[in-house]
């Protein structure tokens, strides 16, 4: 039984990691690399997906627990890029680029918290 749980997490993780890689490259191509726009977009959309999924599946439609393994732990765990965000922020700090350091922290934190609220609100409205 435990092996099946790891398979669900792994399947979600594969999808999340591939989505992250694709969107990071796509965003860099479209918006450039002056600010880590891909990381920001992925953190916001991942926060939205997690808020939507967890609220919807706990308050609106109770689903098989394997969906939580697949989406919340597997997909969102591999898709969101908090570690990248932290590293990129520290690089700005070490370079003395205070505006990008502060902007990256504020944008990621405020927009991701807002995305969680947005996803939760949408889930409750469905």
Q: Which of 89, 74, 83, 79 is nearest to 36 (CA)?
A: 89
Instruction: Quote the pLDDT of residue 83.
Output: 79
pLDDT in tens, 33-73: 988 999 999 999 999 999 999 999 999 998 999 999 999 99
Q: Name the H helices within 1-126.
A: 2-31, 37-55, 65-67, 76-79, 82-94, 98-125
> Does the pTM exceed 0.85?
no
Rounded to an integer, what distance in angstroms lies between the CA atom of residue 109 and that of residue 112?
5
Q: What distance in Å separates the CA atoms of residue 110 and residue 92, rounded to the nearest whole number?
A: 19
Q: What is the pLDDT of residue 56?
A: 93
pLDDT for 118 beyond 90: yes
Predicted local distance difference test score (pLDDT) of residue 30: 96
Number of domains comprising the chain: 1
Name the residue among 10, 16, 14 with its Cα closest to residue 80.
Answer: 16
pLDDT at 50: 93
* Mean pLDDT estimate for the chain: 94
Which has the closest alpha carbon to 113: 70, 74, 82, 87? 82
Task: Domain of residue 35: give its range.
Answer: 2-125
**pLDDT of the residue at 62:** 87
Q: How confident is the model at residue 81 (pLDDT cuts 50, 70, 90)?
A: confident
pLDDT of 32 > 90? The answer is: yes
């Amino acid at each position: 039984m435990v092996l099946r749980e790891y398979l669900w997490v792994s399947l979600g993780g594969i999808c999340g990691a591939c989505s992250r890689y694709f969107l990071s490259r796509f965003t860099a191509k479209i918006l450039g690399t002056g600010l880590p726009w891909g990381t920001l977009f992925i953190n916001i959309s991942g926060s939205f997906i997690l808020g939507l999924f967890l609220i919807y599946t706990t308050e609106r439609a109770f689903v098989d627990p394997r969906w939580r393994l697949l989406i919340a732990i597997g997909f969102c765990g591999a898709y969101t890029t908090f570690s990248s965000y932290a590293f990129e922020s520290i690089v700005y700090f070490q370079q003395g680029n205070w505006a990008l350091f502060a902007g990256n922290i504020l944008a990621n934190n405020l927009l991701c918290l807002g995305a969680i609220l947005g996803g939760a609100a949408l889930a409750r409205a469905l």
